[in-house]
Amino acid sequence: MIVKPITTEKAVRLIELDNTLLFEVAMKDNKTAIKGEFEKMFNVKVESVNVFSRHNKKFAYIKLKKDNPAINVATKLGLI
């Protein structure tokens, strides 16, 4: 379950340069569950998902395929 998007300076830079979005996700979710839910929610193709845990929170870097710009998803969410 995707909890919320992260909107730090680094996250915005990743959107622009790497086509990657950063989200806080539920602790119980794994990479495949995150990928499937994200593709279904936003109707885009995901290239890869990297996760890490910090301070009892789990974060996911979601890299989109080149034909799906991350800036479009960020605009839908109101990040940019």
pTM (2 d.p.) = 0.92
Give the pLDDT score at 8: 94
- 41-52 b/e (C-beta count within 10 Å ≥ 16 → b): ebebebeebeee
The domain total for the chain is 1
- Taking the C-alpha atoms of residue 54 and residue 56, their distance in angstroms, rounded to an integer, is 6
Identity of residue 72? N
Confidence of residue 31 (pLDDT cuts 50, 70, 90): very high
Chain-centre distance for alpha carbon 29: 13
pLDDT band, residue 14 (cuts 50/70/90): very high
Q: What is the pLDDT of residues 32-44, one digit of tens each?
A: 999 999 999 999 9
Give the domain range for residue 44: 2-77
- Phi and psi at residue 28, in whole multiples of 5°? -80, -15
Residue 80: pLDDT above 90? no
* CATH number of the structural domain spanning residue 34: 3.30.70.330
Mean predicted lDDT score pLDDT of the chain: 94
| Closest by Cα among 18, 25, 22 to 8 | 22
